[in-house]
Amino acid sequence: MAAADELGSLTKAFSGLGVDEKALISILGKWHPEQRQSFRKGTRDFFIQDERQFERWNNAHEATVLWTMHPWERDARLLNESLYKRPQYNVLIEVATTRSSEELLGARRAYHSLFDHSIEEDIAFHVHTPDKKLLVALLSSYRYEGPKVNEDIAKLEANTISTAIVKGGALIENEEIVRILSTRSKLHLKTVHKHYKEITGNYLDEDLDRAPPLQETVQCLITPQAYFSKVIDASLRLNADEITKDALTRVIPTRADVDMKLIKEEYHKKYGVELPKKIQDVANGSYRDFLLTLIARGD
């Protein structure tokens, strides 16, 4: 549980009464999920109990850091912003494919509560590109997460995808590819990926380079640490635009308690520099300190 003095400091900060920034970073960065839940439950001025039993940010106040939010609400707001504020279909794919089935279901429930309709409904109504079917399918998915994989089916589906790629055409509209990527378990898809390499000699995501949404889907499902390392690196480049830079604020809080250690290892292997060192060199002030606190959680 969060200590009373820590709760008091954060309550003052969110009220606009001021708090030592270093102390705030230290408090938020070290809290575990149950401590963040304790804070939400204990600060009814900022978080209200939702009818679906999670503590939701009260919109009457300014938005707090993604880190403090309930993970369901955090993902629901990311989905909504990515659809409405500035369309970023890659973020929709990211949330749909790198969360567990229960986490994705929770995000969909939170979306209902926050916006009074479903994310599937919003995509179906507002997206007018061939991506629509893939996005709805991914966000509607509830994947099997057990250990069983049928090797014969996985090999058959690797052949199906290979044939579709060779034939050409609009891969994003290929119903079999969409079905396989949106319904199969991640372990099954890793086996499909293995068989595809055996059949073609190529990596599946590389062969999907002319269909970026499918390529991002495969990367998120098969090698999420490599995907997130790439997103982080792009966000830290000096010539990055604001949308690309914002990815750092999204990725670090959402992965800090999940696979940050693996992301850091992948980043170092791929780019030859430690991620904390890169952030130290590029970011500034309290924002930098908070990011460094969060990524240190994986050590």
Task: Residues 71-139: name the CATH superfamily.
Answer: Annexin (1.10.220.10)
Nearest to 297 by CA among 243, 235, 254: 254
**pLDDT one digit per residue (tens) for the chain, 299 residues:** 455 666 666 665 554 444 455 666 677 777 777 877 777 776 665 666 666 656 665 544 353 457 788 899 999 999 999 998 878 999 999 999 999 999 999 999 999 999 999 999 999 998 999 999 999 999 999 999 999 999 999 999 999 999 999 998 999 999 999 999 999 999 999 999 999 999 999 999 999 999 999 999 999 999 999 999 999 999 999 899 988 988 988 999 899 999 999 999 999 999 999 999 999 998 877 778 888 988 998 67
Q: Which CATH class is domain 151-222?
A: mainly alpha
Residue 265 is predicted with a pLDDT of 96
* Pairwise CA distance, residues 184 & 145, whole Å: 9
Q: Does domain 225-298 have CATH number 3.30.70.260?
A: no
Domain extents in the chain: 4-45, 71-139, 151-222, 225-298
- Whether 71-139 shares its CATH topology with 151-222 is answered yes
The C-alpha atoms of residue 194 and residue 99 are separated, in whole angstroms, by 22
Q: What is the pTM of this model?
A: 0.80
Beta carbons within 10 angstroms of residue 259's beta carbon: 16
The Cα 273–Cα 282 span in angstroms is 13
pLDDT at 129: 93
